[in-house]
């Protein structure tokens, strides 16, 4: 089957070229990345000069930070998404039709049969019964759907009983850790992905972690080869994952910012579904709103109708700066006047 093209937020240069506005003048809300990310300190010279050291303790630090038994550092969860399907028995894999667009082509290229799932399908207790593997992004990107941990455990049990696998992508879960399956990730048939990109605001270091049984992690490491995560990235990850004071303060600040964004969007007549790092606005007028905001230098992520949902916008958080929030407020107000149907 033909899959939708792979698209990502953060494509600000495309906006620069289309609208002729310099990059530094945009308010870029097109990703779900923490705009006030981890304050990276000066790194020691050997982080740059030596080959990356796979035995530098990062795997153990990550496992402890996430409450998992085992962890494998990878070059962002992207590296795992592209490689893991080749390690799983080919079969029917369920993937959200409105979700992270890298999964479907990766599984298809590895010989799996991809079953696109509507958002309503994730309310079904029997969802896993007709599948060999199931991918769940929790919370989902972009719909902000957060599934109860008991639902995920039930699906995992059903899949594992037939030799199948539940893959849970927890890239956005750091603010709502009680829903994480990381602590169960050593169980057969369960793979959990975590990332430094979103909560820590460190997307540029390309560092993530796979939490799973040792045998699967060994097979994945063999496929990826040596030095998959750079020395500077490993150094930053070791520091950030052990900075529990920063983590606690950031959970509080992001939760408050997420609520502030949701209230602002509702004040302008929109109906967001929110998580701390982003708000999702399903609305048939999303394309027109996206255009109206872009003409004022506010860049959002536009999604086509899919998964039983209308077209939609995802709003990331503005920086922790009153001027940025005021600019978004003003742009939304202008859009309401430009698009009378929003009033």
The pLDDT tens digits of the residues spanning 293-305 come to 999 999 999 999 9
Share above pLDDT 90 across residues of the chain, in percent, rounded to a whole number? 90
Residue 1 has pLDDT above 60, yes or no: no
The band of 135, judged by pLDDT with boundaries at 50, 70 and 90, is very high
Q: Which helix (H) or strand (E) segment is 208 a member of?
A: strand 208-211
The band of 4, judged by pLDDT with boundaries at 50, 70 and 90, is low
What pLDDT is recorded for position 336? 84
Burial letters 155-189, b for 16+ CB under 10 A, else e? bbebbbeeebbbbbbbbbbbbbeebbbbebbbbeb
Domain(s) labelled CATH 3.40.640.10 in the chain stretch across 51-242
> pLDDT tens, 138-191?
999 999 999 999 999 999 999 999 999 999 999 999 998 778 999 999 999 999
What pLDDT is recorded for position 178? 79
Tokens linked to 70: 């085992």
CA distance 36 to 202: 10
Please name the fold of domain 51-242.
3.40.640
Query: What is the overall mean pLDDT for the chain?
Result: 94
CA distance 238 to 300: 32
What pLDDT is recorded for position 8? 54
Residue 334 has pLDDT above 60, yes or no: yes
Residue 95 has pLDDT above 70, yes or no: yes
What pLDDT is recorded for position 174? 96
> pLDDT tens, 261-303?
999 999 999 999 999 999 999 999 999 999 999 999 999 999 9
CA distance 140 to 136: 7
What pLDDT is recorded for position 77? 87
Residue 3 has pLDDT above 60, yes or no: no
Strand-strand pairing, 312-316 and 301-303: antiparallel
**CA-closest candidate to residue 72, choices 225, 169, 281, 212:** 212
Residue 6 has pLDDT above 80, yes or no: no
Residue 94 has pLDDT above 70, yes or no: yes
Domain(s) labelled CATH 3.90.1150.10 in the chain stretch across 12-30+245-342
CA distance 304 to 306: 6
Number of C-beta neighbours around residue 253 at 10 A: 16
- Which of the listed CATH numbers 3.30.360.10, 2.40.240.20, 3.30.160.250, 3.90.1150.10 matches domain 12-30+245-342? 3.90.1150.10
């Amino acid at each position: 089957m033909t899959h939708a093209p792979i698209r990502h937020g953060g494509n600000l240069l495309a906006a620069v070229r289309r609208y002729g506005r310099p990059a530094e003048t945009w308010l870029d809300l097109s990703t779900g990345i923490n705009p006030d990310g981890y304050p990276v300190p000066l790194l020691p010279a050997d982080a740059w000069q030596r080959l990356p050291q796979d035995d530098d303790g990062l795997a153990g630090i990550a496992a402890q930070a996430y409450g998992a038994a085992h962890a494998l550092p990878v070059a962002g969860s992207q590296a795992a998404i592209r490689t893991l399907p080749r390690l799983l028995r080919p079969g029917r894999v369920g993937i959200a039709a409105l979700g992270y667009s890298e999964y479907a082509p990766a599984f298809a290229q590895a010989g799996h049969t991809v079953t696109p799932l509507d958002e309503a399908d994730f309310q079904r207790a029997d969802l896993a019964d007709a599948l060999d593997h199931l991918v769940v992004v929790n919370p989902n990107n972009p719909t902000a759907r957060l599934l109860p941990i008991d639902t995920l455990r039930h699906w995992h049990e059903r899949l594992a009983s037939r030799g199948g696998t539940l893959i849970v992508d927890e890239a956005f879960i750091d603010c709502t850790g009680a829903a994480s399956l990381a602590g169960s990730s050593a169980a057969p048939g369960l793979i959990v992905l975590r990332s430094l990109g979103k909560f820590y605001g460190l997307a540029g270091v390309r560092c993530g972690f796979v939490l799973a049984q040792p045998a699967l992690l060994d097979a994945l490491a063999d496929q990826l080869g040596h030095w998959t995560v750079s020395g500077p990235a490993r150094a930053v990850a070791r520091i950030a994952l052990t900075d529990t004071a920063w983590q606690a303060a950031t959970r509080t600040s992001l939760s408050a910012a997420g609520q502030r964004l949701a209230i602002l969007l509702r004040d302008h007549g929109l109906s967001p579904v929110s998580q701390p790092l982003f708000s999702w606005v399903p609305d048939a007028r999303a394309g027109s709103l996206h255009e109206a905001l872009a003409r004022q230098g506010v860049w959002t992520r536009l999604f086509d109708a899919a998964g039983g949902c209308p077209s939609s916008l995802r709003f990331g958080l503005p920086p922790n700066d009153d001027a940025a929030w005021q600019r978004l407020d003003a742009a939304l107000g202008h859009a309401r006047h430009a698009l009378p149907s929003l009033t």
